[in-house]
Amino acid sequence: MTAPILLVRYRVGVVGESRRVVHVVPLADADAIPEVLATYCGERIPLGTVDLLDRPRGMPCTSCLAIAPLPAVDDLPKRDGSTALPPRRGEHTPPDQHVMQRVLDALRRSLTHDAAISGSIVGAHR
């Protein structure tokens, strides 16, 4: 069983636009959000420098995609858009709302000006 994942990318102005790819971060322990996020590709990203994304958008980090475990076959979408079974907890499903709230709280604490974030769910939960 794999850990729930977070989708993150550097905030505007932190790095050049070509480096603002969407990284995949395994979330091993939702009760202890680290100050530095370790992506599947090996990049270490300080928590206060990222946008937390609620769904895939933008250019993905190809290394993260190549390394991240695949979801179970039964969880993959069918041609009609449905899945055979609801996703099993912990197998590449987004973290539940409690986990997301803890991540958002940690992000807010680490940001000095979170109002500057646009296009992420951090600003949407005010």
pLDDT at 32 (0 to 100): 76
Rounded to two decimals, the pTM is 0.60
pLDDT along the chain (126 residues), means of 10: 79 93 86 87 93 88 89 66 54 62 69 46 45
3-class DSSP string for the chain: CCCCEEEEEECECCECHHHCCEEEEECCCCCCCCCEEECCCCCEEEHHHEEEECCCCCCECHHHHHHCCCCCHHHCECCCCCECCCCCCCCCCCCCHHHHHHHHHHHHHHCCCHHHCCCCHHHHCC
